[in-house]
Amino acid sequence: MEKKNIDWGNLSFQYTRTDYRFVAHYKDGKWDDGEIITDSDVVLSECACVFQYAQTCFEGLKAYTTEDGRIVCFRPDLNAERMRDTCIRLHMPPFPEDKFVEAVKAVVKANAAWVPPFGSGATLYIRPFLMGTNPVIGVQPATEYEFRILVTPVGPYFKGGVKPISIRVSDYDRAAPQGTGHIKAGLNYAMSLYNIMDAHACGYDENMYLDPKTRTTVEETGGANFIFITKDGKLVTPKSESILPSITRRSLMVVAEKYLNMPVEHRPVLLSELEDFAECGLCGTAAVISPVGKVNDHGKEIAFPSGMNDMGPYTKKLYETLTGIQMGRIEAPEGWIVEIC
């Protein structure tokens, strides 16, 4: 199979229209089997529930080319499970989890020419999404739904690649997730758009959200969970009912403990503790692990000593082990890597 003629090394995190997408429909109380199609346009009634009441959610995962030329993806069953939980919270019918994984495999396989080659620094981002499609005018859930998966080759999420970013403590909340459980829905992100643009205008790459009730503990950023490293090499990561349960973060907790012999603490993290940490990073599918150099808390700058110019040593070990597992260089725990072709 011939790869597309793309300058893989210079891709950023942007949408490129690829050849195929997966689409399935829910009607009369059941999902059809779905199919791979070429049309990238979605045409819906002006009164579709997704437009009026934002009844939509999404997931994100990646496909990778391994050194020996296979195409694989990372823990898609956990995306299927998380999307099920989000759907339940938004009163939408989940797409069956086993079929979700099969659909991911089918759409990546169909777009194999778009999967960036090993070592290019790019990956194929996979975006499953689900929305209410029939017209509703009273506030109520739809009765018809569409589930789609698009794929697009991407480069690093933050402009500097693996260069440390700077973030600020936000005065805004990240909207809906707090107190509503772990959901990954379009509306949550729409409510964060003003704040992310304001952060950029003020010279920051991201916002650090605090728990909305006490504003004393660290939650997450707009699109990634936090990891911290203590001066004696422990991995600390915030525990909260209102942040997205990042698959990358859950995987890193295993990688730290089982591969790197690092103690792991999953617990509430106080904003006032930040200055005690040696390293800080953001983790997620898009972010992978992006080191954080500085956090600005209303004018007070907290710098992480080992990660100002480059990734700190522990963050780097976590990054290399995780990406090594994802790209087939390091043996993965059972079930983490799903082979596509």
Nearer to ligand PLP, 76 or 133 (CB): 76
Catalytic residue among 30, 62, 109, 184: 184
Least separation in angstroms between CB 247 and ligand PLP: 3
Question: How many angstroms separate the CA atoms of 93 and 158, rounded?
Answer: 34
The interface partner of residue 246, options being ligand COI, ligand PLP, none and the CB cut-off 5 to 8 Å by kind, is ligand PLP
Nearest residue to the partner ligand COI, using Cβ: 60
Positions touching ligand PLP (CB under 6 A) are 60, 220, 223-225, 244, 246-249, 284-285
> Which residues have C-beta within 8 Å of that of residue 91, sequence separation ≥ 6?
55, 141
CB of 209 to ligand COI, least distance (A): 13
Residue 156 binding result from ligand COI, ligand PLP, none, given CB thresholds of 5 to 8 Å by partner type:
none
Binding site for ligand COI (CB under 6 A): 60, 223, 284-286
**b/e for 151-190, b at 16 or more Cβ within 10 A?**
bbbbbbbbeeebebbbbbbbebbbbbbbeeebbbbbbbbe
Query: Which residues are CB-neighbours of 69 under 8 A, at least 6 positions away?
Result: 118
In angstroms, the Cα distances linking 209 to 175, 218, 332 are 10, 6, 32
Active site residue 109: no
Q: Which is nearer to ligand PLP, 237 or 248 (CB)?
A: 248
> Which two tokens mark 98?
């086993």
* Residue 246: CB minimum distance to ligand COI, A: 8
Answer with the entry of ligand PLP, ligand COI, none that 317 interacts with (C-beta below 5 to 8 A by kind): none
Q: Give catalytic residues, as residue numbers.
A: 184
